[in-house]
A and B are shown apart, each in its own frame.
Chain A
Amino acid sequence: MIVLRNVTKTYVSGRRKVVALNGLTLQVERGEFVVIRGPSGSGKTTLLMIMAAMLQPSGGSVTVDGHNLHEMSFREKTDFRAQTIGFVFQMFHLVPYLNVVENVALAAGALGHGDARAHARELLRQLGMEERALHMPSELSVGERQRVAMARALLNHPKIVLADEPTGNLDPENTAAVFSCLSNFKKEGGTVVVATHETEAELLADRVFSLRNGSVEPGSA
């Protein structure tokens, strides 16, 4: 269960202050599929990064399965991300010198696991990317890169998948493949939080929230 209480995040750039989150309170139950929607710059990515312990909030508290992320050391946060979170970035962030299967297997290295290529290939097969396993990221289309990023997020069997605009640049076919994958993850008991514009995601969601003025408002589910 993810619980955010009165979370604030302010970015300071010189004299300019930008309030991204303003007293946000949100609770996501275990096994829930939650969609966060909102216009660009509304703080969706900030919210997901705070949930993933990649960003420190300016105020408030965040607990995941009872663990307060604020009280974790740098190392504990690292372990938390490796063991609990699968993060799908909007920009994919694939390592350019690793091929597709190696990029997916990279996640296993964080946990000190050995060769995870067989598992990586299985995930790629589920996402229809098996034939591209030995290709380099530069040889892939945008949609293919996102599916590789999705496979990488799922490799370590995380409890929670946080996906930031995972289908923002994809065609309908690839969009369907990504949401199908997230839906399957949810059916297996995983928690999914997706920041997206896609209405298709809302069809799969248990709950939908809108992010406005730095805080969430319930939307349609």
Chain B
Amino acid sequence: MRIASLVFKEIGYRKVNFVLSLVAVLTAVALFVAFVTVGETYRLETRKIQLGMGQNLRIIPKETPMDKFWSVGLSEHTMPEEYVHRFAALEGYEYTHLTATLQKQVRWRDRDVILAGILPEVMPPDAKQPPMTFSVSRGNAYVGFELARMFDIKAGDRIEIFGKHFNVAKCLSQTGSSDDIRIYGHLHDVQSVLGLEDRINEIRALECLCMIESGRTDLDPLTLAQRQLAEILPDAKVLLLQGIAEVRQKQRAAMEGYLALIMPIVIVACGVWIGLLAMLNVRQRLEEIGIMRGLGYGSAKILLLFLGRSVIIGLGGALLGIVGGTALALHFGADIFKTTARAIEPQYLWLLWSVVIAPVFAAVSSFIPAVSAVTYDPAITLAKELQ
């Protein structure tokens, strides 16, 4: 008789114990898979929202008076353009989509307009994402909706700004913001027009809120950014736009906090459950162990008999738990965690891990009972024979 055959026949004989053990693994895996699936969806959705909201980190010259900054919407002071490259070269931090701008409110054709020079996005050396903001080529200009309407400017026209000529590459659609009275040009063109070579007055970037994402909610992202940038950009101050993304990210961190609290309890409870059932199984099989010992079965074979059973419980529980957990996430995840139901997708890597980890978990939970089975003395087991 092969050990595998013995294992399957015993499972068929003691179905209740097997099913109860299976339910323990199923519960642990299903909860884990459901949490991980919804959590990952939450993370991806938050990222999408964050990207949709645009850059959330603003770096402006240190001496900028904030009352003036918020009333005008830009700094009247400048800082070196080189700051953006220094910032991009900062290693180990999750800042991306860096944009250096120089903006100034000017009088043009007897109107107040904002002249904005924008440098094509600077990405950290290892970042590969496509740009999330537009850029303007040298010699070209993008004209805001209100200015284009007011002066009847169309794409293809040529305009002159303080003695320098620009091709109107695009007239922007209405935004309902100060962008409607903005003229965008390449940073270096605008610097030249304003006589502020190598100067900028703002760097915008996307701060990924990775600290919150990694569960370190004790660190305020703004404080962290200020601390990190103070050393390399001494003449700058940092502003972080609080937004829905951060709120959601904190919700997710809170959810993961619950997961961190609940999962160990679930795993320990299920482990103890499996262990107790394994102990019960060993006690039910003392006579069988005794007779096998009497027949000359070695420790390894007896151990395999019990651990093999546990591995089958782990595998079966994992497969059922994956199905159950994914179904749980798909059916209830969207309602409970306020995500887009369509966005919830099975996390295949974690599913694969579940299939690997669950049998190990079941085997570890049953290990002590299995070892106790191995150490049973056949004479004690068959003691009722002794007279």
Chain B residues within 8 Å of A89, by CB: 291, 294, 382, 385
Taken together as a complex, chains A and B put the C-alpha atoms of A87 and B384 apart, in Å, by 16
Tell me, yes or no, whether A175 is within 8 Å of chain B by CB.
no
Tell me, yes or no, whether A192 is within 8 Å of chain B by CB.
no
A87 engages B294 (CB within 8 Å): yes
From B9-17, B32-40, B255-263, B312-320, give the one contacting chain A.
B9-17
Supposing A79-B296, A110-B295 touch, asked if A97 and B387 sit within 8 A by C-beta, the answer is: no
B295 engages A106 (CB within 8 Å): yes
Contact of B386 among A49, A111, A114 (CB under 8 A): A49
How many chain B residues touch the partner (CB < 8 A)? 29
**What are 15 A-B contacts defined by CB distance under 8 Å?**
A20-B386, A43-B387, A45-B386, A45-B387, A81-B293, A82-B296, A82-B297, A89-B382, A93-B382, A95-B288, A98-B1, A102-B9, A105-B1, A107-B295, A110-B297
Tell me, yes or no, whether A164 is within 8 Å of chain B by CB.
yes
Chain B residues within 8 Å of A102, by CB: 1, 9
Contact of A55 among B9, B379, B387 (CB under 8 A): B379
Q: Which residue of B lies closest to A155 (CB)?
A: B295
Q: Which residue of B lies closest to A195 (CB)?
A: B387
Tell me, yes or no, whether B298 is within 8 Å of chain A by CB.
yes
A49 engages B379 (CB within 8 Å): yes
Chain B residues within 8 Å of A128, by CB: none
Extra pairs beyond A45-B387, A81-B293 (7, CB < 8 Å): A81-B296, A91-B382, A91-B385, A98-B9, A107-B295, A109-B297, A110-B297
Chain A residues within 8 Å of B385, by CB: 45, 49, 89-91, 164
Chain B residues proximal to chain A, CB less than 8 Å:
1-3, 6, 9-10, 12-14, 287-288, 290-299, 301, 378-379, 382, 384-387
A169 CB to closest chain B CB (Å) equals: 13
Contact of B291 among A11, A55, A93 (CB under 8 A): A93
Taken together as a complex, chains A and B put the C-alpha atoms of A152 and B299 apart, in Å, by 20
Supposing A81-B296, A152-B295 touch, asked if A109 and B382 sit within 8 A by C-beta, the answer is: no
Contact of B387 among A44, A74, A98, A114 (CB under 8 A): A44
A97 engages B10 (CB within 8 Å): yes
Chain B residues within 8 Å of A74, by CB: 299
B386 engages A78 (CB within 8 Å): no
A75 engages B298 (CB within 8 Å): yes
A41 engages B387 (CB within 8 Å): yes
